[in-house]
Structure 1
C-alpha cells in the first residue's frame, strides 16, 4: 500500500496554535496529528507515504528526519504555492509507485475506517477511483447511481448541481432528513464524502494531464466521472472527526483513547 497525507494546509481554524507551527504538528494526546495518521497507515500495511508541505514546511521536514517510522516517507514541497488537493496530487505524482493505487488521507482526520480493507476493495474492483462516503447529513452531497458510480455533486441548500450528465444538471435534489440509505430520487443516491479516497494509476495519470497547476481533486472527479470509473463505498457506521478547530482537540484525545482501548481489547 502507498498513501499521500495532505499536510500543507494553513490550519487557520486552529489559530493561535498554528501561528507558530503547522497543523500537522499540533499535538493530540502525546503525539502530533501527523504521527497519528502515519501510524494508522502503517497499521494498515502502508510502506510508502508522501506528505505535502507548505505552512512551516521546514518543521514538518525536520520532524520526519528526526522520527524514523520504519517506512519510506517522501516530502512533496509546496512551499512556493499551495496547490489545493488536485494540484497537490499532481505535484507528488512522480514520488508514487506508478503501479499501485494511492490512498489519500487528510492529516486532520481521525476515523474508524479499516484502511487496509478499503484499499483492498479498490484493488479488487479494478476501477479508477474509490471514494469513502457516509450517511452524514450535510448540505453538499455526491450523487451516485444505483451501481454506486459517481455521477455528480449537489449543494441542496442552494440547488447548485455539478455533473457532466445533462439530465442530472437539470434535476433538483432535496436534502435527506433521515437515513440517506433510504433516500431515492429517480435512481440516484446522495452521500457525504469523507475526505478519504483512493486513486488508481489510471486516475493519477489523468490528474497529471490536467493543465492547471492548482485545482481541487473533486473538480477532477466531477469533470471526468462520465469517462472514468469512479465509485463510492458506503460506510454506514463511519465515525470520523475533523480536527479542525480548537474545541475539537479534546474530542480528538477522547477519540484516540477510545480507539486505543478498542484495539487493546481485540488483542486480548
Structure 2
C-alpha cells in the first residue's frame, strides 16, 4: 500500500532545534521523527512511501540513503524551490498515486498507536473520498462533525471564526484533526489550479458535494511532536 509523509515543514515551533536540522530529523530517544513515522507505516502494511522535503532537504535525502530507504520504496517530492503547504504538497506528489487505490497521508510530527489498518477499512466501508482521523482533545481549531461522522465545518475557538461546509440536521461535535488521513485518488482531479493551498480548506470547499468522514480514535494515544514540550512527553511515553 502507498502513503505520503508530510515532512517539508519549517519546524518553527521546535526552534532552536530546527535551526540546524529539519523537523523530520528531530529525535525522540535518539530516533528521528521520520524514522518513527516510516516504521509505523511499514508495520501497518504501507511499503511504498513518498516524502516531501523543503527545509534542510539534503539532510533528509542523505538520511534515507544511509538507511537504505528502510528496505522499502521511498520517493522524494522536492519542494526546495517553493513550500507548497499541505494541499499543494499532495498535489505535487499526485504522480505517485497511480494505482487507483486509497492511500495514507501522515504528518511526520505525530506519535500515535492509532490502528491504521482499522482506519483504512473504515474508509473503504463508507466509500468516502477522504477520511480524517480525529479525537477529543483540547485545541483552538476544531473540525465540526455530525452524528453520521461527516465533516460539516471548521471552527477556531480563539478567533470565533466558523467555516460551514455541509448542511446537517444533527448536532455537531468539536473534534480535533490528528494529522492522519486516508485519501481516495479521485480527489486529485478535484484539486484547484493554485500551487500553494491548505488541504483542510480544500476539503471544506468540497464537503457539500463529496463524502468526507471522520474516524474517531479516542482509545489510542496521540502526541503532536511539533512542540518542544511534547518531545519530553514522548520520551516518557516510549520508555513506558
Establish whether TM, by shorter chain, passes 0.5: yes
Larger radius of gyration: 1
* Cα-Cα RMSD: 1.7
Shift of 1:186: 5.3
1:144-223, aligned counterparts within 5 Å?
Answer: 144-165=145-166, 187-207=171-191, 210-223=192-205
1:266 aligned partner: none
Unaligned runs of 5+ in 1: 169-184, 259-268
Shift of 1:117: 1.5
Q: Deviations over 1:89-126 (max 9, x none)?
A: 00000022341112111111001201121122212322
2:2, 2:158 → 1: CA distance?
37
1:187, 1:33 → 2: CA distance?
37
Give TM-score scaled by structure 1 length.
0.84
1:63 aligned partner: 63
Unaligned runs of 5+ in 2: none
Query: Are the equivalent residues in 2 in contact too, given 1:132–1:234 (CA < 8 A)?
Result: yes
Query: Are the equivalent residues in 1 in contact too, given 2:146–2:170 (CA < 8 A)?
Result: no
Secondary structure of 1:61 counterpart: helix
Q: Deviations over 1:36-57 (max 9, x none)?
A: 0000000000011010000010
Shift of 1:190: 2.1
1:178 aligned partner: none
Where do 4+ consecutive residues of structure 1 move more than 3 Å? none
Shift of 1:193: 1.1
Shift of 1:228: 0.9
Secondary structure of 1:100 counterpart: coil
2:101, 2:148 → 1: CA distance?
24
Query: Are the equivalent residues in 2 in contact too, given 1:163–1:223 (CA < 8 A)?
Result: no
2:199, 2:8 → 1: CA distance?
15
